[in-house]
């Protein structure tokens, strides 16, 4: 069953079509790779799903419900979380404090309980802290909980972004170039944690945009390839790898076998 379905979504900027009648679906619990050349429309697609932009046409369905045009905070609240190409962190906050910010959508207490905290409010805060520590432990960041985000390596900053996204308790986790610009050791670390999410939290579906083809081919169940905002191929890794149109548009002759 599809947890996410895009039905012919389109958007243009300044008369240039960034995404054109794109359709794809993400099954519950799968890892779907979304690949294509620079400027193909991958991040724009992420923005359409996560509510940064409303599509000019088409429909976005999540768990069978139409979420087209919903605001970003509303979409996050129903179970769609994402990371960004450029790590989006509170640099002067500690690792733990950053993850705690990810729980803000779960807080329903108002100003009065913040100024005069009730027993229930304090219990909720303790529960949130415990859950944040569990996420850090799960992603093997617990030893860094008191370090400021700006002091972390790029690889650990990417992991912290993933931890903050997991704090939203997502049903769909969207990862935008999680290994871009990292060294081989950091790439291996990120891949390990993605695989850990897959094995320990199989209820979470993952939509992955990534240029590192060895990563995409090794961890994705299916792959969708887009070019100029349009889908040109979809299938298993080997099917996509051998698709002539994909080779010409993106992978290059070195992938032909």
- pLDDT at 257 exceeding the cut of 60: no
* 20-29: pLDDT as tens digits: 999 999 999 9
DSSP 37: S
Share of the chain above pLDDT 90, in %: 75
Q: Rounded to whole angstroms, how far apart are CA atoms 149 and 166?
A: 17
Confidence of residue 252 (pLDDT cuts 50, 70, 90): low
CB 33 within 8 A of CB 213: no
- pLDDT at 256 exceeding the cut of 70: no
Domain count, the chain: 1
SS3 sequence of 172-210: EEEEECCCCCCCHHHHHHHHHHHHHHHHHCCCCEEEEEC
Structure tokens that stand for 34 in this block: 């979304």
Q: Which phi and psi (to 5°) does residue 176 adopt? A: -100, 100
Confidence of residue 1 (pLDDT cuts 50, 70, 90): confident
Confidence of residue 105 (pLDDT cuts 50, 70, 90): low
- pLDDT at residue 253, rounded to an integer: 53
Report the predicted TM-score, pTM, of the whole model to 2 decimal places: 0.89
Across 69-79, average pLDDT:
93
Confidence of residue 255 (pLDDT cuts 50, 70, 90): low
Among residues 211, 173, 180, 207, which one has the least CA distance to residue 82? 173
Higher pLDDT, 66 or 109: 66
Q: Rounded to whole angstroms, how far apart are CA atoms 138 and 133?
A: 8
- pLDDT at residue 116, rounded to an integer: 47
Across 46-73, average pLDDT:
96
- pLDDT at residue 115, rounded to an integer: 45
Range of the domain at 31: 2-255
């Amino acid at each position: 069953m599809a947890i996410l379905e895009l039905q012919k979504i389109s958007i243009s900027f300044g008369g240039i079509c960034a995404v054109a009648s794109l359709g794809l679906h993400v099954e519950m619990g799968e890892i779907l790779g979304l690949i294509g050349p620079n400027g193909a429309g991958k991040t724009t697609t992420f923005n359409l799903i996560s509510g940064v932009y409303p599509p000019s046409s088409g429909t976005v369905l999540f768990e069978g419900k139409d979420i087209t045009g919903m605001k970003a905070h509303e979409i996050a609240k129903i179970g769609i979380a994402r990371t960004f190409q450029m790590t989006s962190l509170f640099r002067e906050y500690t690792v733990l404090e950053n993850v705690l910010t990810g729980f803000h959508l779960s807080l329903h207490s108002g100003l009065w309980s913040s100024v005069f905290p009730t027993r229930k409010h304090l219990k909720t805060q303790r529960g949130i802290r415990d859950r944040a520590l569990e996420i850090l432990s799960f992603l093997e960041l617990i030893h860094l909980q008191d370090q400021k985000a700006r002091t972390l390596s790029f690889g650990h900053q990417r992991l912290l972004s993933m931890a903050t996204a997991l704090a939203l308790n997502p049903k769909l986790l969207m990862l935008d170039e999680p290994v871009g610009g990292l060294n081989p050791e950091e790439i291996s670390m990120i891949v390990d944690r993605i695989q850990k999410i897959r094995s320990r939290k199989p209820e979470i579906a993952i939509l992955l945009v990534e240029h590192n083809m060895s990563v995409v081919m090794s961890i994705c169940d299916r792959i969708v390839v887009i070019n100029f905002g349009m889908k040109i191929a979809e299938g298993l890794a080997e099917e996509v790898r051998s698709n002539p149109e994909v080779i010409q548009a993106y992978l290059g002759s070195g992938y032909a076998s």
